[in-house]
Structure 1
Amino acid sequence: MTVRRTMFGRPLRGVAFDVAVSALVALVSLTAAVNQPGGWAATLVGVAMAAALVLRRTHPSAVTVVVAALALVQVIAGWGPLVYDIAVLIALYSVVKYGERLRDGVVAGAVAAVGVLLAAAQTPHVVQWWITALWYALVTGAVWLVALNVRTRRLYVLSLEERATTLEREREAESRAAVAEERTRIARELHDVVAHSMAVMIVQADGARFMLDRDPAQARTAVKVVADTGRQALEEMRRLVGVLRDAGPGGAADGADGLVVAADPEHRRLVLAELPDLLTRFGDAGLRIRSTVTGAPPALPPGLELTVYRVVQEALTNALKHAGVGAGVEVCLAYTAEAVVVRVVDNGQGRPLVSPTPSGGHGLLGMRERVTVYDGSLTAGPRAVGGWQVEVRLPLPECGPVLRPSGRG
């Protein structure tokens, strides 16, 4: 991190440079006090010019007016051009470079042109006066043009910085919108899971109430299902509330009753049993998919099961978009006692799509949001041998197996 030191709200380096310039002009004026025309009175004018130059960046127009007025005093007094008149050129340079409007610099240039004629008229006539005027005009014009060139470049750099800042803000806003949209979708799906669990609990509780006297054993089984399903639904509700709380005001949690309501043409619950169909669809689209499953699949909570499905779906979508048709993809699901590990790897050796699907560039953001809901980890990036790899680790809940709901909402 770069720390910029400031003084009086300005960069310390710029303040030090302006003070050094002012001190140099004052020193030149004091050094020539004895021999220059006007003596100490002219020296005081030079020191006043030097003092005004300290503010040449923050108030360039005002500084130019002050320096021009002091130069006029010098002309009226008949002292002629003196060494400290370099302050006039410095003020002219400053108003052209730092002035808010170029008009101020043009006016200063016109005033400087008049000053050139007056200075040439008061110069000792060693040579013809117009030769002296031409020399002063060349020097003054060169200073004005250099300042104009620096001003143009400075404004160009500032416009580039402003454009870069605007683009960065737009990217951040787009990313926040994509995250909010993904949270909306996650919250909606978790809401469906919780609603289904509540329906299962009601059905089982009603069954237990009717079977309590006729078949106590079956009633006990139904009560156990109610307890397990309620425990699972409570966990999913906690995650749902976490998603909505993270969305913040005006984010994903906008609804009449505090829940997310949105239209979805595929408004149904997806389960891991549908993964083979998903792999078949991507295979028909042109990917060469090889899938492996290690370990015994446990009874996953519906929300976690949905997250695994969505991660595989998004990873295959990215492989088709970026690796292309014909790319080899390996999908690995590993079930352990502590977690579910999903690994999707492509070799990046496919053919580009003829009509690629537009991508908002937020697939990884969506996956990360889903994985974070279940306290998981996501690793994604290019491989050294080519292609791309996505690996997700989702810890299993501590509670025991629960009843697996049906695949329809």
Structure 2
Amino acid sequence: MLRRIQALPWLHTAYDIALALLVAYITPRYVEEYDLLVGWSMALALLFRRRRPLTVMAVVSGLALVQYVLATYPDSMLATAPSAYDVALLIAMVSVVTHTRTMWHTYAAGGVVLAGVLVESGLGLPGSPGDIEVDVFTLASLGGLTTALWLTALVLRTRRLYVETLEARAAAAEREREHLVRIAAAEERAEIARELHDVVAHSLAVMILQADGAGYALKSDPDKAGTALKAIGDTGRDALEDMHRIVRVLRTGRAPVEDADNGRRRVSLDDLETVAERARTAGLKVELVVEGERGSLSTADELTVLRVVQESLTNVLRHAGPGARVEITLRFVEDAVRISVADDGAGRLAGATAERRSGGNGLVGMRERVEVSGGSFAAGPRLGAGWQVEAEIPVQEAPVRMAG
């Protein structure tokens, strides 16, 4: 209901005009010389009570003071005080309390009106009864009315500010939620891009080299060509299966159920030897060394380790080419797994390929994967010939499953 009213500013304007007309309608009942001027001036000021509440309060208070002075003029009464059109002063006070942003303004507005009540009840007017009971009654009635209106306006002010606070919090929460959704979508896109790059780049690099080798050996060594073609088929099938998994995530918006439960291949550290063997068939001299106990690596961390090794071998195939020697070291320590992939660049100096290897999405993707796992990553040319990739991923304890 409050929002509907706030959405109709013309309703506020109509309400203010109605209050001003009420004060203007009451004023002609008083026939002293300046009653019309004072009353209608108060009514006119009330039209601006929402936009300039303090200014309106000052104008109406000044007019009320002029009215009192004119009413107590020694020779003749030039205005009537108190009068019904003095309700404009109470309306101005309520406007200050409900619309001003500074709290002391609300106290000042109430104090001004109470001061006027004290003047009216304490000093009296010429010709009014001097009985103290009349003064007490005036003070009690006008003071009570002023206090009740002030407290009511304060409650309305508090409620309005509370509603505004709730609306501001709701708007901020909505903006934050949209921001988090955009961040999550960006992270998901980056993750999918990394996965696609790892699957496509590595598999295609191996398949291209195998196809080239099979073409050369097709006539001279048919057995070797058949082995290369078989490796191409195996690599293509695994890449196609990984692509199906990624596409399924894109379609459903969630990761698939545990691969072991639905018969699909689960990518893990057990595939390291397969990756190394395919690199060997592509012409690399790969040595895989695993040191220490494997420990409790999560599925995501196992995939990260595998992708770092896979992408490193892809870079060696791409930049050093067949004949390069690669040493893969996987060292499990107490609280981390350390990965080292070093190649000799097929005997070429590191400076010849350092510029080419430093760009592209491969190194960026590896670094992002490792940093998401809370680890550290470094890559660069070795002294002399070759390139080296080093990464460290913290090992997190697997959660203990409760029985039942």
Residue 191 of structure 1: how far off its partner (Å): 0.7
Equivalent pairs, count:
247
Q: 2:41 aligns with which of 43, 48, 71?
A: 48
Structure number, greater radius of gyration = 2
Superposed counterparts of 1:4-403, under 5 Å: 11-29=9-27, 31-32=28-29, 36-39=30-33, 41-78=34-71, 79=79, 80-120=81-121, 121-122=124-125, 125=128, 128-207=134-213, 209-211=215-217, 300=240, 302-308=242-248, 314=255, 316=257
Q: Which moved more, 1:110-119 or 1:94-103?
A: 110-119
Offset, 1:164: 2.2
Q: Residue 235 of structure 1 corresponds to which residue in structure 2?
A: none
Residues 35-86 of structure 1 show CA distances to partners (whole Å, capped at 9, x for unaligned) of: x1424x3212211111211221222111101110111111111121122111
Q: Look up the match of 2:291.
A: none
Unaligned runs of 5+ in 1: 233-270, 272-298, 318-330, 334-409
For residues 293-339 of structure 1, the C-alpha deviation after alignment (integer angstroms, 9 at most, x for no partner) is: xxxxxx9463223343796983648xxxxxxxxxxxxx889xxxxxx
* Residues 163-214 of structure 1: per-residue CA shift (max 9 Å, x gap): 2222222222222222222222111001112202431342144225414765
Deviates more, 1:89-98 or 1:207-216: 207-216
Q: Do the aligned partners of residues 215 and 164 (structure 1) sit closer, same or farther apart at CA in structure 2, a change above 3 Å counting?
A: same
Query: What do the CA deviations read for 1:105-149 (whole angstroms, capped 9, x no partner)?
Result: 111111112211233323863562232122111111111111112
Q: For residues 5 and 150 of structure 1, what CA distance do their matches in structure 2 show?
A: 15
Distance 2:149 2:253 in 1: 66
For residue 55 of structure 1, give the secondary structure of its aligned residue in structure 2.
Answer: coil
Work out whether residues 81 and 123 of structure 1, in 8 Å CA contact, stay in contact via their aligned partners in 2: no
Corresponding letter in the other structure for 1:157:
V
What amino acid maps onto 2:14 in structure 1?
A
Q: Is the 8 A contact 1:4 1:11 kept in 2?
A: no
Cα distance in structure 1, aligned partners of 2:19 and 2:262: 70
Structure in which a larger fraction of residues adopt helix: 2
Give TM-score scaled by structure 1 length: 0.51
Contact 1:60–1:95, Cα closer than 8 Å, also in 2:
yes
Residue by residue over 1:345-371, the C-alpha shift from the partner in whole angstroms, topping out at 9 and shown as x without a partner, is xxxxxxxxxxxxxxxxxxxxxxxxxxx
Helix, strand or coil: the match of 2:50?
coil
C-alpha contact (below 8 Å) 1:5/1:12 kept by paired residues: no
Q: Deviations over 1:15-46 (max 9, x none)?
A: 221122122222222x42xxx1424x321221
Structure 2: unaligned runs, 5 residues or longer:
72-78, 264-404
> Residues 247-268 of structure 1: CA distance to partner in whole angstroms, max 9, x if unpaired?
xxxxxxxxxxxxxxxxxxxxxx
Identical residues among aligned pairs (%): 42
Counterparts of 1:175 and 1:184, CA distance in 2: 14
Q: Which amino acid aligns with 1:152?
A: T
Q: TM-score w.r.t. structure 2 length?
A: 0.51
Partners of 1:28 and 1:184 in 2: CA distance: 72
Amino acid at match of 2:86: D
Q: Which amino acid is the alignment partner of residue 246 of structure 2?
A: L
Asked if 1 retains the 8 angstrom alpha-carbon contact of 2:248 and 2:256, the reply is no
Query: Aligned with 1:187: secondary structure?
Result: helix
